[in-house]
Structure 1
Amino acid sequence: MLQGLLLALALAGGAGAAPGPAAPALQARAEAGDARAAWRLGLMARNGEGMPADPARAVMLLTTAAEGGVPAAMFVLANMLAAGEGAPRDEAAARRWLEMAAALDYPEALQQLALSEPDPRKAELLMRQAAHAMTHRARD
């Protein structure tokens, strides 16, 4: 229930937000529970695409998308939380989202985990997994 309220507040936008032409359709889909629409709106809010940049709104939308199973949203959310962008810095939550994206074979998450892995053997394995995951993305 709280998540639904947060999504509604995020979709309502902040003062002065002027949504672009795609935003109303995405808002309707996100309100209906479409995690991919929440992902796209989250990116738009983060990057100021079709609306003023709003990192806090982006975090709310990306959280909704990540909870809906969108690995790309998990990855971006992890990086925003690690940097304290749009929400207080939260390394533990950032790591959890990054690991969840990696568990879904999201190549960028696997690569980022590899780059921070102190054990060279584990880092190499993660990089191999990232490369393998990229071959699947190329086929899709």
Structure 2
Amino acid sequence: MKGAALLLAIVCCGAVQAADAQADYRLGLKYRNGTGVVADAVRAARLIEAAARAQVPAAMFTLSNMLAAGEGVQQDDAAARRWLEEAAALGYPAALQELALREPDPRKAELLMRQAAHALQHR
């Protein structure tokens, strides 16, 4: 019984952490857009980065855009690309699509677009 209780505690803790990461992302978006709060790009970036580090693909994609634009963070193209690739690796459709648009090789670009379309169909 102790093993089952420990397993349940571990699973619940993981679910709470995932929910916290999603909450960080949603709150970060509110600060980014000034929805219900005073807009604060720095606070938004911190919250969104926390969610990205917790493996929230939408947060990874958003952080990539913020890094590319220098929105709330120092502009960093290399870090922006890394977060974009991380989101794409997790099957985030917008990230796959963005990588496809940037890809100079037409065959690779087409493959990325197909992956994006597939990911959209299976959300």
Same fold (TM over 0.5): yes
What secondary structure sits across from 2:91 in the alignment?
coil
How far 1:51 sits from its partner (Å)? 0.3
Number of residue-to-residue matches in the alignment: 107
Partner of 2:58: 72
Distance 2:45 2:116 in 1: 25
Q: Which segments of structure 1 move beyond 3 Å, counting only runs of 4 or more?
A: none
Partner of 2:73: 87
Encode CA deviations 1:21-65: one digit per residue, 9 max, x unaligned: xxxxxxxx88xx810010001000000011011111111000000
Higher relative helix content: 2
Q: Compare CA radii of gyration and give the structure with the larger one.
A: 2
Matches within 5 A, 1:12-23: none
Partner of 1:36: 22
Partner of 1:108: 94
Distance 1:91 1:34 in 2: 28
Distance 1:121 1:55 in 2: 37
Question: Structure 2: which 5+ runs fail to align?
Answer: 1-15
- Pick one of 28, 36, 39 that aligns with 1:53: 39
- Identity over aligned pairs, percent: 68
Amino acid of the residue matched to residue 125 of structure 1? Answer: L
User: Normalized against structure 2, the TM-score is what?
Assistant: 0.84
User: Normalized against structure 1, the TM-score is what?
Assistant: 0.74
